[in-house]
Chain A
Amino acid sequence: MAALSRKVDGWVRAGLIDEAQGARILAHEAEVSRPLLLYTIAGLGSFAIAVGLVSLVAAQWATLPGFIKIGISLSWVVGLGVGLVRLDARGSTWAYDVVLGIFYGLVLASIALVGQVYQLGGHAHEALWTWSLMTAIAMWTGRGRFVLGLWVVGLQASILTLVAHKADTSLTLSAGGLAVFLSTLALGNTSFIRRLRPELGGILRGLAWAEIIGAGSLATLWFYPGGEERLTGASTFAVLIAAIAAVAAVLTVQGTGRLPKQVLLGACAMLVLIAPLLAPEDWGLLGALLFLGVWLLVAWAAHADSRSSYLNFATAILALRILAIYLEVFESLLSTGVGLIGGGLLTLGLVWLWLRLRRRFGAEELPS
């Protein structure tokens, strides 16, 4: 709010709006905006408690008989459940989300506890699926972005552990993972989610974009020595599914800056699916250049969508990667004066380029 207040003051001084309009804008924003810091801190607190409960169960209290441990755990679930119903009736928002976050973690901890007491064995994905299915309705009722984000990450973890369990090669795993990320993006783009839960749609899209770009960046590591991949029946199937998901995601991209986003999506998908099979493993420089290509596309998409913070982030990553390339290529020269002078000049050049780009972008952002 402080930043908005400064902006409104600036607009009033520039004669763009009068004081009454400025006051109305601030009053409106104060009414509709949510205390983000409070939400974030509360969300982090509830997440820490949830993780703590899981750790506590993992450490296993040897001194208590199994039925007492399960009894305590179930009574906590009941207590938090009653709390959730009451907070919901009271119309509470952030307190509801905090309790819901703890409830979510506690259900997982309770499943793990029952597994320990009865030595159920099994695989991680079975426990995670049970957890995700049992808590789906409760998490749907979450109000804030943090709790909804926690839920999406939990759902993805359930699917990814299943993919990891079934995967026979790294390619199957990476293609399966990519298919999950692309499906998350497609789900976030559906009009159903956008209409019914706009906040959830935003989280799905934001998380999926970060994951897809991350996967595309990581795939460039296949150009370095150490990776060897072969096509199996399972990996062929996973690649096909991921390719179909990629085409669907490219076709359903929405909003401004559609073309760069489509190109970015396609490039990341191609890298994840093709690099493991075709990348010559001692072509590190090509891998590095492809990494730069991915982040140039990120910068282009951010520019086209008028997202200056993302553009800044992308240029910072580009600068760091260029420095890393310099270190990779001229490693032997670094101990000499030539290497140090070259490194210094490169760093200054990158800073200059960054400032220039920022200035240009800032000028383009100003209203005409």
Chain B
Amino acid sequence: MTPRLTRWGVLIPLLGLVLIVLQSELRRRSGTEWPLKIVGYDPRDLIHGHYLRYRFHFDAASSETACLQGQRLAAACCLCLEPTSDPRAPEVRPVPCEAARECSAWILSSEVQPPLRYLIPEADAPALERALRLHDAVLRIRALSDGTISVGDLELDGRPWSEVVREAAEPRDE
């Protein structure tokens, strides 16, 4: 093997990793941030190992029936995001993707199809599972101009989930 080949062999993974990090960081800083309410698929099995299985909650009543396939969003439809008077609860409505371009922000169907997973430290899984039953869960996402999203922090009643879990674990004074 030539030394040049070894150098390329080392350099390519390193550059590749740096590129993935830069791209992810760029996506995290682009687009507009939206707090989206999430719910589990199966309330008895919210957390699986080291990840939370979730889906985005959307207003099924106001959505077009053609856009809904049970709890799933049809492939030709997108999620339309509009701000409301409550900054923590935007309107999330499934609409055909052509109509979604008129919305303040929109998300492609492929971005919200299961399995959606939010990775968590495995040691915190039981505590987080308990906390999810007591608090409203919101995922801060960034909606990018191409309809894709960058997933940010998980919040429980408006606070970071780790803070809520840590607080619940602390012994209380009698």
Q: Check B119 against A138 for contact (C-beta < 8 Å).
A: no
Decide yes or no whether A120 CB sits under 8 A from chain B: yes
Q: Check A138 against B152 for contact (C-beta < 8 Å).
A: no
Residues on A with beta carbons closer than 8 Å to the beta carbon of B28: 118
Q: Check A88 against B17 for contact (C-beta < 8 Å).
A: no
CB-CB contacts below 8 Å: B128-147 with A: none
Residue with the highest number of chain A CB atoms closer than 10 Å, among B16, B116, B120: B16
Decide yes or no whether B87 CB sits under 8 A from chain A: no
With known contacts A121-B116, A137-B9, A85–B18 Cβ distance under 8 A: no
CB-CB contacts below 8 Å: B1-44 with A: 1, 3, 5-14, 16-18, 20-21, 24-25, 27-28
Q: Check A111 against B20 for contact (C-beta < 8 Å).
A: yes
A81 and B11 alpha carbons, distance in the complex (Å): 8
With known contacts A62-B123, A77-B14, A88–B6 Cβ distance under 8 A: yes
Q: Check B6 against A141 for contact (C-beta < 8 Å).
A: yes
Residues on B with beta carbons closer than 8 Å to the beta carbon of A58: 50, 122
Q: Check B1 against A141 for contact (C-beta < 8 Å).
A: yes
Q: Check B13 against A135 for contact (C-beta < 8 Å).
A: yes
Decide yes or no whether B117 CB sits under 8 A from chain A: yes
Q: From A116, which residue of chain B is reached at the shortest CB distance?
A: B119
Residue with the highest number of chain B CB atoms closer than 10 Å, among A88, A89, A114, A119: A119
CB distance from B129 to the nearest CB of A (A): 16
A114 and B12 alpha carbons, distance in the complex (Å): 17
Q: Check A62 against B5 for contact (C-beta < 8 Å).
A: no
Question: Chain A 40-78 against B: per-residue CB contact (8 Å), 1 yes, 0 no?
Answer: 000000000000000000111110000000100110011
Interface SS, A side: helix
With known contacts A59-B121, A118-B28, A119-B152, A138–B17 Cβ distance under 8 A: no
Q: Check A85 against B3 for contact (C-beta < 8 Å).
A: yes
Decide yes or no whether A84 CB sits under 8 A from chain B: yes
Q: Check B14 against A137 for contact (C-beta < 8 Å).
A: no
Q: From B150, which residue of chain A is reached at the shortest CB distance?
A: A118
CB distance from A182 to the nearest CB of B (A): 28
With known contacts A78-B14, A134-B12, A141-B9, A114–B21 Cβ distance under 8 A: yes
Q: From A77, which residue of chain B is reached at the shortest CB distance?
A: B14
Q: From B25, which residue of chain A is reached at the shortest CB distance?
A: A118
Decide yes or no whether A191 CB sits under 8 A from chain B: no
Residues on A with beta carbons closer than 8 Å to the beta carbon of B63: none
Residues on B with beta carbons closer than 8 Å to the beta carbon of A141: 1, 5-6, 9
Q: Check A111 against B17 for contact (C-beta < 8 Å).
A: yes
Decide yes or no whether A11 CB sits under 8 A from chain B: no
Decide yes or no whether B56 CB sits under 8 A from chain A: no
Decide yes or no whether A5 CB sits under 8 A from chain B: no
CB distance from A119 to the nearest CB of B (A): 4
Q: Check B24 against A120 for contact (C-beta < 8 Å).
A: yes
A121 and B52 alpha carbons, distance in the complex (Å): 11
CB-CB contacts below 8 Å: A13-44 with B: none
CB distance from B46 to the nearest CB of A (A): 17
A84 and B13 alpha carbons, distance in the complex (Å): 13
Q: Check B10 against A74 for contact (C-beta < 8 Å).
A: no
Out of A59, A114, A119, name the residue touching B118 (CB < 8 Å).
Answer: A119
Decide yes or no whether A107 CB sits under 8 A from chain B: yes
Residues on A with beta carbons closer than 8 Å to the beta carbon of B21: 70, 74, 114
Minimum-distance CB pairs A-B, first 4: A138-B9, A81-B10, A118-B24, A119-B151
Residues of A within 8 A of B (CB): 58-62, 70, 73-74, 77-78, 81-82, 84-85, 88-89, 103, 107, 110-111, 114-121, 130, 133-135, 137-141
New A-B contacts (12) at CB < 8 Å, excluding given A59-B50, A84-B10: A58-B122, A62-B121, A78-B14, A84-B6, A88-B6, A103-B13, A110-B17, A118-B24, A118-B27, A119-B118, A134-B17, A135-B12
